[in-house]
Amino acid sequence: MDKYIIEGGAPLYGSVRVQSAKNAVLPLLAASVLTEERVIIRRCPRICDVLHMTEILGELGCKTRFEGDALVIDGADAANHEIPAALAKEMRSSVFLLGSVVARFGKARIAYPGGCDIGLRPVDLHLKGLRRLNVRVEEEGGYINCASDRLKGAEIVLDCPSVGATENIMLASVKGEGTTVLRNAAKEPEIRDLQDFLNRMGAKVRGAGTGTVRIEGVRALHGVEYTPMPDRIEAGTFLIAAAMCGGEIAVEGASAENLAALIDKLREISCKIAVKDDKIYIKSDGERRSLRLIETMPYPGFPTDLQAPATALACICEGSAVIVENLFETRFKHVPELIRMGADVVVRGRAAFVRGVPALHGADVAAGDLRGGAALTLAAISAEGRSTVTDLSHIDRGYSGFEYKLAALGAKIRRIRV
């Protein structure tokens, strides 16, 4: 098991380029099943979730390999429709394969998916949408079995704008008969990226990024070479790191539009931010006014994936702040670890009440999930003294070379195997 050894307190300077978005790449890998032709994903991050997904694709019969930073998927020999339980339980995003596998093979079987323990995240909306597309769905013994003789377009209204359900319904319907109209769809930028990817494969999808997505079914899809969008959550993580540590950095390959909710909060606490093309510049002199209130919301609201790093930031801001988590019910697992570092935080239900302290101090802490692990790392590089962060497997699910990028900016962080 690896851990970080961190000597905190160093300001950050320099530039960092963000990877392609984890939350975009995983649905693209699921979409690759829809064609027998070769798919190439450029600038594909070698994070654990991507590697797990390639294992699942391999079980389906796809051949995958990395060529430099490009992931090549050849689905010509894919024939299996079952996703093994051991792999499905490793990651939540395996559920995306339901739509694409049933669209390719007419049937799919998957164990209930796993991933970070941040709440229930039921798949009911996914299954409701698939049923509307003429998919027979049976749940038994911890498995979901899907079958359809012919996928048919339908009018579907989501009970809430679920990102996963929106993407799964898009994947299932692109080769269906007729037109599917999906209302109350999620609006995240990663959904627009999936639309662009599918359309490059020959699909007819429009409206992604709005509340209504229309999909006209086509008979077949072809191969594609594609570069996914940059990771807005990784970009936001580095912006928060600079706000916490002080200094001046440039985050390259990022979209300020996709991070508007975070940038507004960083300016609110007195960080100076400038944007030029795909670069976001942030300068922090270490004086941080109160964050006051953050509420996670579906896009374009404040992203739930940045709630944990933002909570760490609030711990060293002036005054008090309230952090409200509206999307997941158990996403404050990092708080007890922050308290070990001297934070003053009380959690009541879906809200964390934070009173800022002058500084955090070093401590031995453990990552309990992906974004909580990133938050603890940021807390440690900004704290006074020495910290260790363990259970890095969570962080590795979404960040590639996290410690190297932070070290290149001046953080005193190293990874050791124990």
Residues marked active site are found at 116
Structure tokens given for 295: 């509420």
Q: What is the DSSP string of 232-250?
A: HHHHHHHHHHHHHH-EEEE
Q: What is the largest CA-CA distance in the chain?
A: 63
CB 387 within 8 A of CB 365: yes
Residue 325: which residues within 8 A CB-CB, separation 6 or more? 296, 304, 307, 331, 332, 350, 351, 352
CA distances from 187 to 84, 209, 333 (A): 31, 4, 27
CA distances from 396 to 90, 140, 233, 393 (A): 13, 32, 14, 5
The 10 Å Cβ neighbour count of residue 417 is 6
CB 40 within 8 A of CB 224: yes
The amino acid occupying position 265 is: K
Q: Residue 112: which of 87, 88, 83 has the closest Cα?
A: 88
d(CA 246, CA 13): 9
d(CA 233, CA 26): 15
Q: What is the DSSP string of 148-179?
A: -SS-B--EEE-SS--HHHHHHHHHHHTTSBSE
Residue 349: which residues within 8 A CB-CB, separation 6 or more? none
Structure tokens given for 89: 């339980």
Q: Residue 299: which of 183, 211, 206 has the closest Cα?
A: 211
